Structure 1
Amino acid sequence: MTSDAPASLEIPGDADLPPLALDIDGTLTTPEHTIDPRVFRVLPEWPAPVVLATGKSFPYPIALCHFAGVPERVIAENGGVVCVDERVRIEGDAERVAAAVDAFRERGGELGWGDADTVNRWRETEVAARVTADEALLREVAEEFDLRFLDTGYAYHLTDPDVSKGRGLREAASILDRDPAAFVAVGDSMNDASTFAVAGESYALANADEVAKDAADSVLDDGFMDGTMAVLAELVERASG
């Protein structure tokens, strides 16, 4: 998809627009990994449900919803936590993940986030390690404990193999009484591939990894929030036509 990212977006009040499933890091952010200010203008104006789907722990997307002024509709921890309209579903074997982390540390591994470890402090279903961590050892431990290893480009994750963002989107859509195929998904990492498989229309940003690009219906010329804005502008134009 050739894109021309707008600086802002005029959304007609009567526009029949689809629900969205949006990743956060690399999708609603700048190349410097900060939230793009356009998020705070566009998301509150979008008339259909917006579900934020992220690998971050539960509080992060909830906080973003709060500060953006949108309903709390999130898929966190790569699908391990789904919170939509005050209904919370938690899946995954947290005890198995904790045992894997213990084994990783016993063999000399470090998650790499320091003593406070605010990346994992509030996680309920999985663990994330800095990309400077011992990848080979993490993969070894993941295989030993029958966990999925994910490299999102921002962190390494060990998660339950039965958990995914795509499965989380099915749950979110059910709560919202929407067909999952009605959603338009935008993302940039391998953990978004399952979302793309469930959504009816999917876009990988220019900064996406090859797994995400291969899974998406379309690959954008622009990356980060520029690419996301281009998708939203196209959806508005389509609805207005």
Structure 2
Amino acid sequence: MVPPLALDIDGTLTTASGRIDARAFELLPDWDAPVVLATGKAFPYPVALAHFLGRAETVIAENGGVVHVAGETAVLGDPEAPRAVVEAFRERGGDLGWGGRDTVNRWRETEVALSLDVDETLLREVTAAAGGDVEVVDTGYAYHVKSTGVSKGRGLERVGDTLDVDPDEFVAIGDSENDVSTFAVAGESYAVANADVAARDAADVVLEESYMDGTASVLADLRARSE
């Protein structure tokens, strides 16, 4: 039997240009075990991807702030502290960096995402001044201001409890700092070659291939092992 999967999206199921790689629609619909889409994106994005893959909508969104499994949605992150940090950031001249139409945060329930073009030093300074209940996570695609009490790894533990699957049975694949907690919980973890230093250091294996090339190679190996 193939193992259950915990898969990041950006940088892991995508091409270098950020598009979903078509191989995801070839390899994942018939994967005969749970597939968890674990992402920093707002909740609707992984739900939509799961839908178009024909998979159960088992997702960890907003870096663990929202978990949806077995038809139930749990909002685990506290949105008030991150929003207060961002408001203080704005008061000191900061900007979210998305321009006039901020669809990045339009449907985000538990955190706030800022462009990598913003003043990181100021953002981290304001966040530190707010105390230990909020943190900044750099996913390589955005700065996420989030509650310290949530993570993808804790989300995976919740999914495992609901599905009655030990988190140690999962194979996790990812590419950035926000995947470190998932790697710590899963029994086997892979960082694609384009991964940042934090993910590379935390993974059991750092792949030679980048983006979906790396993910596809892991899935092929896992299927071969199961035969």
Normalised TM-score (structure 2): 0.98
User: For residues 2-51 of structure 1, what are the alpha-carbon distances to aligned partners after superposition, in whole Å with 9 as ceiling and x for unaligned?
Assistant: xxxxxxxxxxxxxx010000000000000010000011111111000000
Find 2:60's aligned residue among 63, 70, 75. 75
Task: Please give the alpha-carbon distance, in whole angstroms, between the structure 2 residues aligned to 1:123 and 1:216.
Answer: 28
Residue in 2 that maps onto 1:209: 196
Structure 1 segment 115-194 matched on structure 2, within 5 A: 115-145=100-130, 146=132, 147-194=134-181
Secondary structure at the aligned position of 2:103 is classed as coil
User: Structure 1: which 4+ aligned runs deviate by more than 3 Å?
Assistant: none
What is the alpha-carbon distance in structure 1 between the residues aligned to residue 99 and residue 191 of structure 2? 32
In the alignment, structure 2 segments of 5+ residues that lack a partner are none
Q: Is 2:182 the partner of 1:195? A: yes
Query: Which of the residues 42, 64, 71 maps onto 1:86?
Result: 71
1:220 is aligned to 2:207? yes
Q: Alignment partner of 1:185: what SS?
A: strand
| Partner residue, 2:4 | 19
Gaps of 5+ in 1: 1-15
Counterparts of 1:74 and 1:39, CA distance in 2: 16
Q: CA deviation at 1:59?
A: 0.5
Aligned to 1:47: 32
Residue among 50, 53, 65 paired with 1:65: 50
Q: Count how many residue pairs are aligned between Structure 1 and Structure 2.
A: 225
Q: Residue 208 of structure 1 aligns to which amino acid in structure 2?
A: A
Structure 2 residue aligned with 1:111? 96
